[in-house]
Amino acid sequence: MSLARGSAVVLVWVVLLAGCEPWGKPAAPQKEIAEDFQTLFRENCSGCHGEDGRGGPGRILNDGLYLAFIPKASLRKVIEEGRKGTAMPAWARSEGGPLTEEQISVLVDGMEKNWAKKVNLRGAALPAYEAGAVTGDEMRGNKLYLRDCFACHAKGGIAGPLTEPAYLALTTKQNLRTSIVVGRPDLGMPDYRVLNRGRPLSEQDIADLVTYLMGKAASK
């Protein structure tokens, strides 16, 4: 190879290399904060609420009825502040959690957008998220429990008892209320629309059941 040809080859290499970014050059700092719903949900929520918002030990979130039942503001508040008395921790930075206001907005909006759908209430009125002024009747709740829940929630029943003191110590009135209303379709528990032998439970029924169960917790 002549000197001229050699230098030409070297020159071409230099020009080619000059156009490349060296592999070792550090990439420009990127925004580390995840901002898409899928990533945020997977990293922060799926541990308890399941891969796709269902099938986890925690509340089903990927469910039209649940998202219709809970007002957006309450959903946001639960994420921000957590739920005292349950395993739900606070996620907002203002509460010592890891997520920013924007990230929580992404989560709330993402759940609405991806999972909310029109629910056929079968003529039953959708109960309010929070219990109203209705006073629960413990005795009636006991009867309702035997009538509407016991078939599955008996000791040794397919869903196991609800009356275990340790369970009741780890739940809240609101938690029981939500479970009765929305059920656990992913685990086979029906919702309030059919729990009364195929007919809907009334606002009074739900209040009675919650009062009965929480009374069980208090008495133990």
Partner 1 sequence: MNTLRKAAVWLDDRLHLTALYASTAGHEVPKSAGSWFYVFGSATLLCFVIQIITGACLAFVYIPSTNEAFTSLQYLNHAQFWGWYLRAVHNWGSNFMVAIMTLHMIQVFLFGAYKYPRELTWVSGIFLLVSTLAMAFTGQVMRFDQDAYWGLTIGASITGRVPLIGAQLVHLLLAGPIIAGETLSRFFTLHVFIIPGLIIAIVSMHLRLVLTKGINEYPKPGHPVHRGTYDAEYAEILRKEGVPFVPHAIGKDLIFAALVIVGILGCALVFGPKGPGGPPNPTIVDTNPRPDFYFLSIFAALALLPDWMEVLILFVAPALILIFLLALPFISGTGEKSATRRPVAVLSVVLIMLVIGVLTYMGETSPWSPHMSAWSGNSIPARYVKGRTPLQLRGALVFQNKQCRNCHALGGEGGERGPALDAVATRLTRDEMVRQVIQGSGNMPAYGKKLSPAEVEALVSFMETLHPPGVPGARPSDKPQNKLPRDIASLHHRLR
* Greatest extent of the chain over all pairs of C-alpha atoms, in Å: 105
C-alpha 170/C-alpha 138 separation (Å) is 20
Burial (Cβ within 10 Å: 0-12, 13-18, ≥19) of residue 20: exposed
Closest to partner 1 by CB, 67 vs 176, is 176
**Of residues 58, 64, 110, 215, which one binds partner 1 by CB under 8 A?**
58
φ and ψ at residue 20, rounded to 5 degrees: -90, 150
From residue 91 to residue 110, what is the string marking binding to partner 1 with x (rule CB under 8 A)? -------x------------
**Of residues 62, 171, 178, 211, which one binds partner 1 by CB under 8 A?**
171
C-alpha 101/C-alpha 35 separation (Å) is 11
**Of residues 110, 159, 202, 215, which one binds partner 1 by CB under 8 A?**
159
Segment interacting with partner 1 (CB under 8 A) among 8-16, 25-33, 66-74, 115-123: 25-33
CB of 39 to partner 1, least distance (A): 10
User: Which residues, at least 6 apart from 3, have a Cβ–Cβ distance to it below 8 Å?
Assistant: none
Site for partner 1 in 126-155 (CB under 8 A): 153
- Secondary structure (3-state) at 99: strand
CB of 76 to partner 1, least distance (A): 18
- Cβ atoms 74, 129 nearer than 8 A: yes
Total of chain residues touching partner 1, rule CB under 8 A: 39
CB atoms within 10 A of CB 139: 11
**Of residues 24, 123, 132, 198, which one binds partner 1 by CB under 8 A?**
24
The residues binding partner 1 (CB under 8 A) are 22-26, 28-29, 42-51, 55-58, 86-87, 89, 98, 153, 158-162, 164-167, 169-171, 187
